[in-house]
Structure 1
Amino acid sequence: MGQTASTPKPGAKLQVIGAGLPRTGTASLSAALEILLDGPVYHCGTQTTLGAAGDIEAWMQILTCRRSANPKDRAMVLPLIQHRLDGFVAIADAPGSQLVPELMQLYPDAKVICTVRDPDSWAKSMNQVHGYTSLWFLKVLLLPLPRLRNFVDYLWLLTDQWGERYVGEVRGDTIVRRDAKATGGVLLNEETYARHVAWLKDIVPAERLVFVDVNDGWGPLCRALGKDVPDLAFPHMNDSEAIERTARYHIQRALARWVGIVAVVGVGVVGYTMRR
């Protein structure tokens, strides 16, 4: 989680629903939960970019079925989520943090833990991430990487999910916005943060909902889970550095693939020309 993908552990039961927005310390929470719960955590951002092939497509199917007008499609959502999370002790990051109602239905005994951060610094951080993921050439760049070939389409589905949750209602391909500052259907400001917190307080029973700041270390998290404080330093993970490192890794791989493709095509063209 956060830095490397986690491997599911047969028989592991999901005990924590991470409801914090991205860039609120979700990677640190994931690392801490792996220690406290002695099992793998499904950090969505990490698993979809560094995990098993097919994770992106699996979440695309979940998000598409969830919005479908067909009752049969919507009925598939819970089984698909359950299958994806089989063998994990917790989930964190988007799109899981926007699927809290479905996750609570699947895991009625799980604690809902929302990581918090100063709303203003969160908004600035999210706008930085949005800049990375909205590069116009990203879809073409990632074509040679089978695992990430659908990454941009996945981002569009996440945008729809956020638009529906925080901006307004999605009607077909149109998002009816509540706020003029929405960008691409996504609110990247303090209002989104406030709406998310208010939404959680509205849908999650008070006895199941806990807000934690990872800067406070083990104490609040251990109290929420009834665990002893480990004799280890709290795992503070830098989300910004992790995202930049992952992006750089995949971009370098994609560019290398394109160089190889161009070289092969170039050799073919030269060979064809010389034979004429």
Structure 2
Amino acid sequence: MGQSPSTPTPGTPFLVIGAGLPRTGTTSLTLALSTLLNGPIYHGGTQCTLGPELEILSWIKLLSHYPPTSPSSRLAVRKILEQRLTGYAGVTDAPCAGLVEELLEIYPDALVICTMRDVDKWEKSMSAIASASTLSYLRLILFLLPTMRYFPSYIDALRAQWVALYGRAEPATRHHWDAHTQYLKRVVPAKQLLFYDVREGWGPLCEALGKEVPEEEFPRVNDSRAIEELARKMVLRGVGRWGILLGSVGVGVGAWLWMRGA
């Protein structure tokens, strides 16, 4: 989160499913995979918040069919996944961390990488983002911003996905962490599943992907700080848009009153 959105490159083979939960180093993994696979990686959080409106609207639509329980809903989910991910070498972050079973039906040979971190620290980090994303005035503040006006609906859809997968949404606890681990072990063949901490650097990734260790330093991005900075910018932009709108309305009303009194 907080990086620039990626664009697909036609003909790029899809190789990696990033199955780590949010705030587990998914941005660092995204940048590392982009280097190792020499292709664009689809980071869900970045694409949904900084990409065109089509991105976030597509995921809201997909999640409205989740879990897919009929042939038509399964087809709808598959179609959107293929539309969004064709031309990418991999995907990371939500909502695809919870769509691993569906992704493996499309990309059966993909390596599934689940980023890990200290669970207690993860709980605290998720608590902070949950508080920010559920502010009652957020929907109003973001209403005038393209793409971000749909962010509250997207968060609602992600919560429903968590309920379907783990039995409940917030607060994020060890229950969700353990349930996600069990989910991955259930749907992913053991030989295709890698649990990985980004603090380990290039080594485990290069070994799993059969790549040489790059000379450049491993990318380390603070997901929490990036999300907080993006949230701050979006709230300020939203407030600014409302200020311009209300200021324009005030000028118009003032002009109208002046003309009536003239």
User: Could you list the per-position Cα deviations for residues 178-231 of structure 1 after superposition, in whole angstroms to 9, with x for gaps in the alignment?
Assistant: xxxxxxx33411111111111111211100101110001000111111111111
The residue aligned with 1:261 is: 245
Q: Deviations for 1:59-85, whole angstroms, at most 9, x for unmatched residues?
A: 011111234766424321101111111
Q: 1:59: which partner in 2?
A: 59
Counterpart of 2:65 in 1: which secondary structure? helix
Q: Which has the higher contact order (CA 8 A, sep 6+)?
A: 2
Change in 2 beyond 3 A, CA 1:117/1:68: closer
1:99 aligned onto 2:99: yes
TM-score by length of 2: 0.95
Amino acid at match of 1:270: G
Counterparts of 1:107-256 in structure 2 under 5 Å? 107-167=107-167, 185-256=169-240
Q: Give distance in 2, aligned partners of 1:115 and 1:2.
A: 18
- How many residues are matched? 260
- Give the conservation status (yes or no) of the 8 Å contact 1:40–1:90: yes
* Distance (whole Å) between structure 1 residues aligned to residue 133 and residue 2 of structure 2: 17
How far 1:146 sits from its partner (Å)?
Answer: 2.0
More helix by share: 2
Following TM superposition, by how much is the alpha carbon of 1:116 offset from its aligned partner in structure 2, in angstroms? 0.5
Query: Partners in 2 of 1:245 and 1:53 — Cα distance?
Result: 21
- Aligned equivalents of 1:83, 1:43: Cα separation in 2: 15
SS for the counterpart of 2:33 is helix
- 1:25 and 2:29 equivalent? no
| Residue identity (%) | 46
SS at match of 1:211: strand
Q: Structure 2 counterpart of 1:274, which letter?
A: W
Distance 1:2 1:144 in 2: 20
After superposition, the Cα gap between the structure-2 partners of 1:70 and 1:107, relative to the gap in structure 1 and judged at 3 Å, is closer
Per the alignment, in what secondary structure is the counterpart of residue 145 of structure 1? coil
Paired residues of 1:219 and 1:229 also in contact (CA < 8 A): yes
Q: 2: distance between equivalents of 1:56 and 1:268?
A: 35
| Structure 1 residues 113 and 244, CA gap change in structure 2 (3 angstroms) | same
Range moving further from structure 2, 153-162 or 250-259: 250-259
**What runs of 5+ residues in structure 2 fail to find an aligned partner?**
none
Is 2:45 the partner of 1:45? yes
SS at match of 1:210: strand
User: 5+ residue gaps in structure 1?
Assistant: 168-176, 178-184
Question: TM-score, length-normalised on structure 1?
Answer: 0.91
Distance change (3 Å), C-alpha of 1:229 and 1:2: farther
